[in-house]
Structure 1
Amino acid sequence: MSEKKSEQISVLSVEEDTIYIDPVAEAKLVHKLDRTVLPILGLLYFMAALDRSNIGNSAAAGLQEAIGLTSAQLSNCVSLFFVTYIISEIPATLLLRKAKPHRFLAALGLMWALVTIGMTFVSSYGSFLACRLLLGLFEGGYFPCIVIYVSIFYKPEEQALRMGYLLACAGFAGAFGGLISYGLVQVKSTNTYLQGYRLIYLVEGLITVCAIPVVYYLLPDDENVKVFNEEERELMRLRTLQRQQYMGKSDKFEWIEVRKAIADPKTYLSMIIQFCSDLVLYGFSTFLPTILKSGLGYSTTQAQYLTIPVYAVAIISIIGISRASDYLKLRGPFIAAVDLIAAIGYIILIASSNNAVKYFATYLIAISLYVQAGINLSWTASNSMPHYRRTCVVGANQTLGNISGAIAGQVYRKSPYRLGHSFSLGCVCLSAVCIGLNTLWLRRQNKVKELILSGEKEDTMSERTGDHVLDFKYCY
């Protein structure tokens, strides 16, 4: 069959809404896509998680003493990081398509790597704070951009698992970040200046720099993936046509899409759920070693290695539950279920005096750790279309979500962290309420569309575009 004839059949099929892709061939294609793009995105996200969280490890390795940081100043550096992190998120998502993903994501990674290397040579509170602000500026756009990137290449029902894989990389960073830092601190260089915390920043920054060419040369911008053969590229093209309504037909930015995103109730429910999820994530992952050391009485070394099985549970949970979420095409019930499990964990941490029982509670919280944030993001992205409406919603979602990073540092102030645990318990309860409201809202919208299509209800909306069109069904 000639290329021209094939194209005519494909277009005809789109118009008749009868595009057919062999499910076996498509499954093979998706697995190959996983092997092509996810390792690249995951590698850079792993390094971002390490570079973002190594402030705690560097403080333990002599940062405060070397440059004269007080505890209050260290807390400021933790919290103020999120100021520029938050500011960069929406602009980054809007720039992603214009600047080309391989260029834009590589540029972000290179800039934060250079800032990390620069932190090797800081000598004062002011210079260290400036580096933290720059680090937030360049890292802030990366995660919301990869949420959008995943939504470009994968169908809505495939996205939760792929976000799960990427968040698992953050879990690996949490599990091994302390051990990596510990190993670097033990290295005795002939250069006494490049020891301790300085070696942490230098080595981790250089590793990120080495990852940049991989992103720049191998990350595809669209369905024309270099490593795919002609048949696979044709399948990718057909998948894109299948999702044309979801993606949007125009690359042109329009402010009306921003206004529609702002006017949508599910945008705000999603933002509140993300805020609650991220507060648990930032609070628990940042202070877990301290919770084990100061709250449960373990030594510094024990606290480091006892975090590994906790993060292992978190990694297994995000991959397993995300897979089930995609298979059943359900989002809200899974997040609500892990919220309940996390609530039990926090109640135990607050009420129990038995350290073994409290350590068990950390595993309950770990089950929810990445599931809440990951599935809510895929839920948000898959229910928003076209492209620029989705980028606005995801950017807003991440903006409010990451404000929790600054708040987490303020509620987790003093062991045994009753305030932090109580605040986190309130967040998982509020998240569960908002999940219920969002589920009811989405089901109601689906029902209204069904009634309009059947002629039982008058359509009062003057114009329906994006996810408001009548044949688009929200997932819940």
Structure 2
Amino acid sequence: MSEKNRELVTIESLDNEDEEIVTIDLAQESKLVHKLDRTVLPILGLLYFMAALDRSNIGNSAAAGLQEAIGLTAAQLSNCVSLFYVTYIISEIPATLLLRKFKPHRFLAALGFMWGLVTIGTTFVSGYSSLLVCRLLLGLFEGGYFPCIMVYVSIFYKPEEQALRMGYLLSCAGAAGAFGGLISYGLVQVNSTNPYLQGYRLIYLVEGLITICTIPIVYFYLPDDENVKFFNEAEHEIMRLRTIQRKQYMGNSKFEWIEIRKAFSDPKTYFSMFIQFFSDIVLYGFSTFLPSILRSGLGYSITQAQYLTIPVYISAIISTLCTSRASDYLKIRGPFIAGANVSAAIGYIILLTANNNAVKYFATYLIALSLYVHAGINLAWTANNSSPYYRRTCSIGSNQALGNISGAIAGQIYRKSPYLLGHSFSLGCVCASTICVVLNTLWLQRQNRVKQKILCGERTDKMKERTGDHNLDFKYCY
């Protein structure tokens, strides 16, 4: 085997008493990773696509006549958008802690099945109260899915492989935005020939049924851990060696409350949470209300507002995949989030100051370029710098919990056309997110320097016990 196709990795075991030297053929490892990409990621992405579709279809249904049909005021619609995140947030941290106990294929399939039923049930709502109940139930079952798949990705992929995979999964939400507009556009047309079922009701019925149809794929084909049943013997061996290489990153998988306390006492956990919070206000506000922004804010018709969202989301998908790949290749996170924020800031400034609707529509593309980049790379950043398993699950869960509070806020700031409050507030959040990115980067760089000085004997180690990412040879990425 040539030196070009070999990687030599020395990893200190968790008890610090011995060393293992692991050599992997990089060409064979690349084939294994691509096989995971072809098998595991499409399953996760398919269900996340449906989750995003079912979560955001209230925006398309509102543009298709939901408000007028059941007598919703603008404030009541905003409440239904916002209060969804109450149960969504509550379910996130418990879900990440329960994932291993109930096995991913069962737990994730059960969540999807339940929110699919709730989406179908939304077809028959007759007023504000019934719609609100459906939104609360939808949040309860959807809330745990995304943080769970972030934890799941960290089980199978190395830290430097994760941003692209998380970017892929988030791009599925972008695809949901694009196809949601396309599906809604088609179903609204059905309304003209079917007087018994209005177009906005068909949106819920059809999308709920599609979600239910995806559940058998999740249940029967999603592997629970590294022992993937569709791997051959050689692939199982490579996966075993990858697991050895990642001993320090994966750490002790036994649940201990001290790991939860360590996660919540770490400054980088809070930087991560606030970056996600500010980024998600942009994400949820823009993705939920884009059809309404195009219809009420820019003056397009109902049908135009539906299909004009499609190219906007396609640009978001392309941007997410390209940026995530570059972030993994260069092994840096913060600068890419900051760069995405610059694009979003320019977009919001144009929306607030321009008078031409075509120019404002162009601004939606600038915002879309950043839409899933800052959220996805920040999640990879969080997962990369947290170890062992339950410290990482807590960091990811808390990241998502605070981040999704922004969904409730987004529903309140986008209340009245032309949405000047929503755009101004989102611009402020882009700026605040950038400040947090800079602070987190400086903190991680400082921690790396402190560890290096201790290793070189230039500084006394004041920490009594170092485990997981606190180990001196664990280097934070920034």
Provide TM-score, normalisation by structure 1.
0.94
The 3 A distance-change label for structure 1 pair 301 and 124 is closer
Structure 1 residues 58 and 294: CA distance shift in structure 2, 3 A? closer
1:302 match? 304
| Aligned equivalent of 1:285 | 287
Give the secondary-structure state (helix, strand or coil) at the position aligned to 1:21. Answer: strand
Q: Specify the alignment match of 1:89 in structure 2.
A: 92
Q: Give 2:3's aligned residue.
A: none
Q: CA RMSD in A?
A: 1.9
User: Which residue does the alignment assign to 2:7?
Assistant: none
DSSP 3-state at the match of 2:22: coil
In structure 2, the CA distance between the partners of 1:23 and 1:275, relative to structure 1 (3 Å rule), is same
Alpha-carbon contact 2:60-2:306 (below 8 Å) kept: no
Are positions 1:431 and 2:433 aligned together? Answer: yes
Q: Who is 2:412 aligned against?
A: 410
Distance 1:420 1:352 in 2: 16
Distance 1:190 1:304, change over 3 A: closer
Q: Note closer, same or farther for the CA distance 1:189–1:237 as it changes in structure 2 (3 Å cut).
A: farther
Inter-partner Cα distance in structure 1 for 2:85 and 2:286: 17
Residues 182/352 of structure 1: CA separation in 2 closer, same or farther (3 Å cut): closer
Judging changes above 3 Å, is the alpha-carbon distance between structure 1 residues 99 and 32 closer, same or farther for their aligned structure 2 residues?
same
Judge conservation of contact 1:13–1:19 (CA < 8 Å) in 2.
no
How many residue pairs align between the two structures?
Answer: 466
Unaligned 5+ segments in structure 1 are: 1-9
Q: Secondary structure at the match of 1:18?
A: strand
Q: How far is the alpha carbon of 1:142 from its aligned partner?
A: 0.3
SS in 2 for 1:20: strand
Shift of 1:297: 2.7
Question: How far did residue 303 of structure 1 move?
Answer: 2.4
Q: Does 1:174 align with 2:168?
A: no
- Counterpart of 1:140 in structure 2 is 143
One-letter code aligned to 1:34 = D
Q: Secondary structure at the match of 1:433?
A: helix
Change (3 A) 1:36 1:393: same
Cα distance in 1 for residues equivalent to 2:282 and 2:93: 22
In structure 2, the CA distance between the partners of 1:364 and 1:188, relative to structure 1 (3 Å rule), is closer
Q: Which residue of 2 aligns with 1:3?
A: none
SS of structure 1 residue aligned to 2:313? helix
Amino acid at match of 1:246: Y
Cα separation, 1, equivalents of 2:449 and 2:468: 17
Identity %: 80
In the alignment, what sits opposite 2:320?
A: 318
SS in 1 for 2:223: coil
Please say if residues 171 and 314 of structure 1, whose CA atoms lie closer than 8 Å, have aligned partners that are also in contact. yes
Cα distance in structure 1, aligned partners of 2:224 and 2:81: 34
Deviation of 1:421 after TM superposition, in Å, equals 1.2
Distance in 1 between residues matched to 2:220 and 2:160, nearest whole Å = 28
More deviation, 419-428/185-194: 185-194
State the 1:121 CA deviation.
Answer: 2.4
Shift in CA distance, 290/128, structure 1 to aligned 2, threshold 3 Å:
closer
Counterpart-to-counterpart distance in 2, 1:462 and 1:285: 47
Are the aligned partners of 1:275 and 1:402 in contact in 2 as well (CA < 8 Å)? yes
* TM-score normalized with structure 2 length: 0.94
Query: What is the Cα deviation at residue 60 of structure 1?
Result: 3.5
Q: Is 1:28–2:34 an aligned residue pair?
A: no
- What's the counterpart of residue 211 of structure 1? 214
Match of 2:48 in 1: 45
Deviation of residue 65 (structure 1)? 4.1
Q: Cα distance, 1:344 vs. partner?
A: 1.4
Conserved? CA contact 2:182–2:310, under 8 Å = no
Specify whether residues 400 and 69 from structure 1 end up closer, same or farther in structure 2 by C-alpha distance, changes over 3 A only.
same
* 1:55 shift after superposition: 1.2
2:132 paired residue among 117, 123, 129? 129
Corresponding residue for residue 230 of structure 1: 233
Letter in 1 for 2:145: Y
What is residue 6 of structure 1 aligned with on the other side?
A: none
Note the residue ranges of structure 2 that are not aligned, 5 or more in a row.
1-9
Q: Judge which range, 451-460 or 14-23, deviates more.
A: 14-23
Q: For 1:58-114, what per-residue CA distance to the aligned partner results, in whole angstroms no more than 9, with x for missing partners?
A: 233443344333332222111110100000000001101111100100000011011
In the other structure, the counterpart of 1:156 is 159
SS of aligned partner of 1:473: coil
Question: CA–CA distance in 2 between the matches of 1:317 and 1:165?
Answer: 11
User: Is this contact kept in 2: 1:310–1:362, CA < 8 A?
Assistant: yes
Per-residue deviation, 1:455: 1.1
TM superposition shift of 1:350: 1.3
Equivalent runs, 1:389-404 vs 2, <5 Å = 389-404=391-406
Of the structure 1 ranges 393-402 and 298-307, higher mean CA displacement relative to structure 2 is found in: 298-307
Question: Secondary structure at 1:228's aligned position in 2?
Answer: coil
Residue 148 of structure 1: how far off its partner (Å): 0.5
